[in-house]
Amino acid sequence: MLSSGQIMIMILTIALGTFLTRVLPFVVFPADKPTPRYVLYLGKVLPYASGGFLVIYCLKEIRISIEPYAIPEIIAILCIAMLHKWKSSALLSIGAGTLLYMMLVQVVF
């Protein structure tokens, strides 16, 4: 059980961390100066890199030699790719793919 002092220190630490993450970008990159080129570059490439890492992380435990032979994952990935190509909506394709995958894992396989 935490004491009142420990709880207060934890709350203050979380509040300070949240405050710093919100204020620091405005201090480091003021509005009256141009944004550095490397920050603009990172803003363009990091979303795709993060997406790639998430896909790899989600698929790293799949074993194609063990039943159900990655069939639910393959179906869900195909659904996501086709929906995204058709509608160009990340929210729709990822949401529908997740729902389909969960349905396949929980009900079908």
Percent of the chain with pLDDT over 70: 100
**Cα dihedral 63, 61, 51, 82 in deg (nearest 10):** 30
Helix (H, G, I), strand (E, B) or coil at 22: helix
One-letter amino acid for residue 46 of the chain? L
Please indicate, yes or no, whether the overall pTM of this predicted structure exceeds 0.85.
no
Per-residue pLDDT tens over the stretch 15-48: 999 999 999 999 999 999 999 999 999 999 999 9
Residue boundaries of the structural domains of the chain = 1-33, 35-62, 64-109
**Mean pLDDT, residues 86-104 taken together:** 95
CA–CA separation, 105 and 92 (whole Å): 20
Question: Is the pLDDT higher at 46 or at 109?
Answer: 46
